[in-house]
Amino acid sequence: MRMIRRLSRAATAGLVAAAALTAAAHSAEAADTLGSAAAGQGRYFGTAVAASHLGEADYAATLDREFSSVTPENEMKWDATEPSRGTFTFTSADRIVDHAQSQGMDVRGHTLVWHSQLPSWVGSLGASDLRTAMNNHINGLMGHYKGEIHSWDVVNEAFQDGGSGARRSSPFQDKLGDGFIEEAFRTARAADPAAKLCYNDYNTDGVNAKSNAVYTMVKDFKSRGVPIDCVGFQSHFNPNSPVPSDYRQNLQRFADLGVDVQITELDIEGSGSAQAANYTKVVEACLAVDRCTGLTVWGITDKYSWRSSGTPLLFDGNYTEKPAYDAVLAALGGSGDPGDPGDPGDPGDGTVSCTATYTRTADWNSGYNGQVTITAGGEPISSWTATVTLPAQQTVSSLWNGTPTRSGNVLTVRPSWNGTLAAGASTSFGFTVTKNGSDAAPTVGGCTAS
């Protein structure tokens, strides 16, 4: 099957080369997409992708227009690719790789050895069998995609949170000891010598005990010739875990060890100009480090984010570019903004838009309070509409700072006094729900503005 795909890839090489030339010509004219602007800085700009969304026209169109690299969000993980021992399934991952190749995009491989999304059979093996299974899994994945992946997350999240700098407990750590990471990298190098081999982790973005522990490991690997080419910094940020002030410094110290660094799973919860400013910090930090070779955001649209209620991505649920998108494009030296008539949601283009973000603000046995924050896009708005769909059992007992109409379990909410918002400004409405036995969250529908 891969043989057929490789042949078809070779057959499309001319098309891909032609597409690259077109992209280069386009970027010389005006780098008005994330991928072309990043290319102008010698970097890739990628996104995590779910195979199940590729059939959605707006999703695929945004992906194809904006990004130059993709990371399968779940489809290359162990539970998806080797759910039972020795039986490999590549259908969903192949779908993403095929799509990327048809568009001339690169692919990051995520991830080979990780304690999570690990089928239970792996955890039940004894040490010797586990070592064989780990190496077989690496060989199976990397062999299938040999020559088609620019960077692989060989080992993911092997260190503990907190101040100890210790390794995280996992079947690999507990049964094989510290040496499992080194062994995984050596196996990976032999399996696909062309792929960059990365160690990937979170909460290692600034200088701290965890990043110090990873730093010590990478330094040791480099000194002993263990094959490692890059370190991935996931960069999942929110108000409790903000962009660290020493982010650039931390990336630089790793780069100084002789490895590339990559921003691998970037998302930043928030909205409006504050979120945009944080994205700018991240892009500027990467551009300031020569060996920071690219950035990947962890999804395209807020509606499919693993943290969707925090609206952490560059496109809202309607695929409208958010202020954060404009900030990233500008930081990359792109010239699509402001006022490019081709960019919906940009300041000056006359397209009004808004986003709606849900949070639970209070919770008790029989009920909870919810709040929906409405944020205007790049143009001022004079009104907005959002929908709140409640789980079947739940009922709303009161709602404030908004005017609801009810149809079954769907509330359509319009402004009471708070319809007029400046570009990027926010307002919110709140409501009290009686649970009637269901603690599930409501679904907040996309915002429309006028």
3-state SS record for 140-206: HHHHHCCCCCCEEEEEECCECCCCCCCECCCHHHHHHCCHHHHHHHHHHHHHCCCCEEEEEECCCCC
Q: Which residue in this structure is represented by tokens 């039972």?
A: 84
Query: What phi, psi does 442 have (nearest 5°)?
Result: -75, 165
Minimum Å gap between C-beta 74 and ligand G3I is: 5
Residue nearest ligand G3I by beta-carbon distance: 306
Q: Which residues lie near ligand G3I (CB under 6 A)? A: 73-74, 116-117, 202, 234, 265, 306
In the complex with ligand G3I, which residue's Cβ is closer, 116 or 398?
116
205 close to 193: Cβ distance less than 8 angstroms: no
Respond yes or no: is residue 29 known to be catalytic. no
Minimum Å gap between C-beta 295 and ligand G3I is: 15
Instruction: State the catalytic residue, choosing from 66, 73, 148, 157.
Output: 157
Instruction: State the catalytic residue, choosing from 75, 82, 265, 269.
Output: 265
Minimum Å gap between C-beta 299 and ligand G3I is: 7
The closest alpha carbon to 115, from 160, 70, 81, 85, belongs to 160
Query: What phi, psi does 154 have (nearest 5°)?
Result: -70, -45
In the complex with ligand G3I, which residue's Cβ is closer, 45 or 202?
202
Q: Which residue in this structure is represented by tokens 């030339």?
A: 21
In the complex with ligand G3I, which residue's Cβ is closer, 66 or 73?
73
Sequence-distant (6+) residues with CB within 8 A of 190 are none
Minimum Å gap between C-beta 202 and ligand G3I is: 6
3-class secondary structure, 381? strand
Could you give the CA distance from residue 436 to residue 394 in angstroms, rounded to a whole number?
A: 6
Minimum Å gap between C-beta 108 and ligand G3I is: 11
**Angle between the 247-255 and 209-224 helix axes, to the nearest 10 degrees?**
10
CA angle, residues 228, 233, 237, in degrees to nearest 5: 170
Minimum Å gap between C-beta 52 and ligand G3I is: 7
Could you give the CA distance from residue 418 to residue 426 in angstroms, rounded to a whole number?
A: 9
Question: Does 119 sit behind a cis peptide bond, omega within 30 degrees of 0 on the bond before it?
Answer: no
Could you give the CA distance from residue 165 to residue 176 in angstroms, rounded to a whole number?
A: 19
Respond yes or no: is residue 157 known to be catalytic. yes
Sequence-distant (6+) residues with CB within 8 A of 7 are none
* R_g over Cα of the chain: 23
Minimum Å gap between C-beta 186 and ligand G3I is: 23
The closest alpha carbon to 199, from 176, 167, 246, belongs to 167
Q: Among all residues, which ones are annotated catalytic? A: 157, 265
